[in-house]
Amino acid sequence: MRDCRIVFGVELDRERTLSYIRKAADGVAGVVGLRVTVFDPALDMGRPSDANDPHILVNLRPARAMPPPPLTAKTFTSTRDNAEVKHIGLHPQLKLRRDAQFAGFDDAVFVEPDGHVSEGGTWNLGFIDHEGTVIWPDAPVLPGTTMLLLQGLDAPKQITAPVRLADVSHMAAAFHECIDRCSYCQCARRREVPAGPPRARRTA
């Protein structure tokens, strides 16, 4: 709803969107992932200001195996364009994900030019300190659905605070989460940076 207003300048029809979701999910058994994409098929690259008639596309896909394995991530200095908006401009983060995988990691984690950790390519990143407090990076990030759900819990204690790359090795754990998975995450750059209980595993 918020992102449609930001991108197209109009409100998304909530009831119509829900009706499409119900239609797509009708008769589906088990657990699946559901994605809603909002787009304007009449968008003209020369006149993006004319795009104000958002259409709705609903996709279903099989859910990932649970629980997911721990994830290893390589850090890159990068900031997503319009980080607070969920959009389909994925080339920069997929390029870095590809680079990370060629370097032997599962994915990429973004670090701001000032050295503060922000998020993964398509997921939010959180940390747990040695007192059990969940720390969400205070940086340009997408307010993801799963992150917002977790932030709505009464326990454990949660805060939003700047997390420098140099702070990561002092955390008790790091975790990544998006709409269909949540697991421990291990971040590394050029030096060894452990993360993830019960015993930190180091990355060369």
Q: What per-residue confidence (pLDDT) applies to 137? A: 96
Q: What per-residue confidence (pLDDT) applies to 75? A: 93
* Residue 127 and residue 147 in contact, taking contact as beta carbons nearer than 8 Å: no
> Half-sphere exposure of residue 98, counting CA atoms within 13 Å on the CB side?
6
In the chain the domains, ranked by start, together with CATH numbers, are 2-62 (no CATH), 71-188 (3.20.10.10)
In this model, does residue 114 exceed pLDDT 80?
Answer: yes
Grade residue 201 by pLDDT with cuts at 50, 70 and 90: very low
DSSP string for residues in 90-122: -HHHHHHHHHHHHTT-SEEEEE-TTSBEEEESS
Grade residue 61 by pLDDT with cuts at 50, 70 and 90: confident
pLDDT digits (tens, 9 = 90+) for 8-53: 888 999 999 999 999 999 988 888 888 889 998 888 889 888 888 8
**What does the block give as tokens for 156?**
């454990």
Q: What per-residue confidence (pLDDT) applies to 184? A: 64
> What are the residues whose beta carbons fall under 8 Å from the beta carbon of 39, sequence distance 6 or more?
54, 55, 57, 88
In this model, does residue 155 exceed pLDDT 80?
Answer: yes
pTM above 0.95, yes or no: no
Q: Strand, coil or helix: what is 189?
A: coil
Q: What per-residue confidence (pLDDT) applies to 44? A: 86
Burial grade of 41 (CB within 10 A; 0-12, 13-18, 19 or more): exposed
Region 151-165: mean pLDDT is 93
pLDDT digits (tens, 9 = 90+) for 68-113: 778 889 999 999 888 888 887 888 999 999 999 999 999 999 999 9
Note the residue count of the chain. 204
Q: What per-residue confidence (pLDDT) applies to 196? A: 40
In this model, does residue 192 exceed pLDDT 60?
Answer: no
Grade residue 65 by pLDDT with cuts at 50, 70 and 90: confident
- Residue 37's identity, in one-letter code, is T
Q: What per-residue confidence (pLDDT) applies to 197? A: 37
